[in-house]
Amino acid sequence: MGDIWDAFQENDGWGQTWVTIKLSITALGLATLAGLVLGVICAKVGRAAAFLVITVSNLGRTVPTFALIALILALTGLGFWPAALGLFLLGIPPILLNTFTGVKEVDPGAVEASRGMGFTPLQVLGRVELPMAMPLVFAGIRTSSVQIIATAALAGLVGAGGLGVIVSSGLSNNQDDVILAGAIPITILAALSELVFGGAERLATPRGLRISRRPITG
């Protein structure tokens, strides 16, 4: 364990951790914004949009992320922003799909009722549809965050900076300690984001929905 810690410090572990965090947060923030806006638009526009969203997300899943991030970096250059751009694009589908599904699946009765109370379409969206979709939206953000961190590590492998760089240097010099000094923090970051967004998912569930869910979970 001591050797791994030494390797972590010798390879600027804290600096690379910070780069990975900055990269992931930037990409996740932008992906959340884009996913939410596009998801709501698609949910409101109609069937063609639904088909498009599902097809694009499914196709996106069949393209290997590693090859895609390598390709984006090869075409746009090795730097913070090219990597952020790649991670941002890969992070959109889970949030988009979940926002879309969440808004679509809101009980039509609830929407009718709020309309009957005199809500404008914007109020229906902001006060009824989005709050009810929030648990699913956060589930999407959680999936996306874990994916972005995993892909950020791969971007480092390609040469874009971050913890993947440490793994990469360990791999090319055949040093297990160095490999682990990169791999362990990557795993911790992924676990942390899973915990944070899992908690946020629970907090984001409107209180009324939390109660109604209780019987289902047993």
Partner 1 sequence: MAELVRWSWVEDNLDDIQEASIEHLQLVGTSLALAIAVSIPTAILVRRRRIPFIAVNTISGALYTIPSLAMFAFLLSFVGIGFEPAVIALAVYCLQLIIRNSVVGLEGVSGPVREAARGMGLTSRQTLTRVELPLALPAIFAGIRLAAVSTVGIATIAVYIGAGGLGVLIVNDGIQRGLFVTPIVVGAVIATVMAIVIDLALVGIERLLTPWQRARAAVG
**Binding interface with partner 1 (CB under 8 A):** 61-68, 70-71, 73-75, 78, 146, 149-150, 153-154, 157-159, 164, 167, 170-171, 176, 179-180, 182-184, 186-187, 190-191, 194
In terms of CB distance, is 124 or 155 closer to partner 1?
Answer: 155
- Least Å distance, CB 17 to partner 1, is 13
In terms of CB distance, is 21 or 149 closer to partner 1?
Answer: 149
- Least Å distance, CB 155 to partner 1, is 10
DSSP 205: S
What is the identity of the amino acid at 150?
A: A
Residues contacting 14, CB < 8 A, separation 6+? none
- Least Å distance, CB 60 to partner 1, is 10
Which tokens hold the place of 30?
């932008």
- Least Å distance, CB 184 to partner 1, is 7
Q: What length does the chain have?
A: 218
CA distance 35 to 89: 10
In terms of CB distance, is 32 or 151 closer to partner 1?
Answer: 151
In terms of CB distance, is 86 or 132 closer to partner 1?
Answer: 86
- Least Å distance, CB 62 to partner 1, is 4
DSSP 128: I
Residue 114's CB is within 10 A of a number of other CB atoms, namely 18
- Least Å distance, CB 171 to partner 1, is 6
Q: Of 153, 36, 40, whose CA–CA distance to 87 is shortest?
A: 153
In terms of CB distance, is 31 or 153 closer to partner 1?
Answer: 153
To which residue do tokens 């638009």 refer? 41
CA distance 22 to 88: 12
To which residue do tokens 């629970």 refer? 202
In terms of CB distance, is 130 or 184 closer to partner 1?
Answer: 184
